[in-house]
Amino acid sequence: MLINGEWLTDTPTFSVFNPATGEEIGHVADGTATDAMRAIDAASAALPAWVSETAYARSALLYRAHHLMLERQHELAELMTKEQGKPLKASMNEVKYAADFLLWFAEEAKRVYGETIPSARSDQRFLVQKQAVGVVAAVTPWNYPISMLTRKLGPALAAGCTVALKPAESTPLCAIAVFKILEEAGLPPGVANLVTASDPKPIGEVFCTHPAVRKLTFTGSTAVGKHLAQACAPQLKRVSMELGGHAPFIVYDDADPVHAAKGVSLVKFLNTGQACISPNRIFVQRRILDPFLETLQARVSGMQAGDGMDPANSIGPLINESAIEKVDRQVQDAINHGATLLAGGSRLTENGLDQGCFYGATLLTDVTPEMVIYREETFGPVAAVVPFDDEDDVIAMANDTDYGLAAYIYTQNLARALRTFEQLQFGIIGINDINPTSAAAPFGGMKESGLGREGAREGIEEYLETKLGGLSI
């Protein structure tokens, strides 16, 4: 753990495992509620000096961190693949994406503008300033263990906030590597503090109840996000939440079914389906269903699972045994309720895969609303196809969920694309685009998929308060 500029090693530890092989790859400090309080106290003590730094000084630190992260891209990617499981190529892409947030917010730090407002009184002037909210508590997930750190640390540090951060218990080594980069870039003691722990609950309770914390930012499940938001409510802490998704992928009959199927295969099985923007319900207009399924089945059946360090493998492991059980429960429930299994559908144990958490790339069709997979986020390598006939019907089906994070539309009809875009109740929509994300673009959901936005100019606003000055002259 890094608290007030010191790496603490004389503590109890817990082990970190490679989900592809089951082997122990390291051990880290097992933090407690007391450690979380110390981290917040350190952040609180460091706040006055950090918020008083010029925006240019804070920007320069983030520029240095960006340079160091790119310099160590391969080293960080290898660590991520060993700790989280995704193929090395995907890890390389994530490190670049993570560095992009440091660069973007290095630039946004210098663009936190105020304004003057005219008054009805001739002897009065209004001035508006944007100032840091203060101490921020951050909780990050395991599925994107580096980019989700920089997506929070970048804007918080740029705005002048100080931070106490708890990474996911499955991927603390990636977090340690990021904090070492920040330290090398010149991070002052106490400005960003890292608390690793095998049990997240005591840390989360401190983050939500400590009076010095003025904002909580969390990425994870909707259930946990609701619990944390409720715990923050008594002190009216600001919260931003990037939570679960249940993305519809709509393929209209004027789209090229082969092109659409290739797009689905790329985004659905990205990170073994362990992404909050992963398509969960693939709606295909019936007229092109057969050629779509033919292409998708061929691509899914050809996906090779294994250790992400081997470039021949396109599917990595799931994060743990619980993830395997959840995915298989959804698949078996769908089959029992009449879905047709076209590929996969079981855990992989041959050729040494029994030591890891591997599930075969799976394709189901004839999926219907009474199936669990139609309602619950899967977070695994399962493509669930739902045939449809009518445009109005598919929009209603797509919106029939408590989630509202991401959605996708494939069509060559501009009017249809705009109609669907405007009617879908989701915060991020890809139109003939399977990667509608960037450090420069706002990321976040509607309904129970979250509060607030990360990235873009909106991202730094989440860490700023608006202060009004009324001057009588």
**What does the alpha-carbon distance between residue 227 and residue 290 come to, in Å, rounded to a whole number?**
44
The Cα 304–Cα 324 span in angstroms is: 17
The crossing angle, in degrees rounded to 10, of helices 73-84 and 88-108 is 120
Distances (CA, A) of 94 to 88, 99, 148, 253: 10, 9, 10, 33
Query: CB neighbours (10 Å) of residue 348?
Result: 19
Q: 18 vs 79, 84, 149, 196, CA distance in Å?
A: 10, 7, 20, 17
Q: How do beta strands 406-410 and 247-251 pair?
A: parallel
The catalytically annotated residue of 83, 242, 377, 448 is: 242
| Rounded (to 5) percent helix, strand, coil in the chain | 45, 20, 35
Catalytic-labelled residue, pool 161, 276, 377, 454:
276
Q: Go through 227-259 and write b for each residue having 16 or more CB atoms within 10 A of its CB, e for each that does not.
A: ebbebbeeeebbbbbbbbbbbbbbbbbebbbee
Is residue 105 within 8 Å of 157, Cβ to Cβ? yes
E-state strands within 192-258: 192-194, 213-219, 238-242, 247-251
Backbone dihedral angles phi then psi of residue 54, each to the nearest 5 degrees: -70, 155
| Contacts of 85 by beta carbon, 8 Å cutoff, 6+ apart | 18, 19, 20, 272, 308, 316, 317, 318, 319, 356, 357
Cα-Cα-Cα-Cα dihedral of 90, 445, 170, 226, to 10°? -170
150 CB neighbour count, 10 Å cutoff: 30
Are 165 and 192 in contact by the 8 Å Cβ rule? The answer is yes
| Radius of gyration (C-alpha) of the chain in whole angstroms | 23
**Does residue 276 carry a catalytic annotation?**
yes
Q: Is 161 a catalytic residue?
A: no
Residue numbers annotated as active site: 242, 276
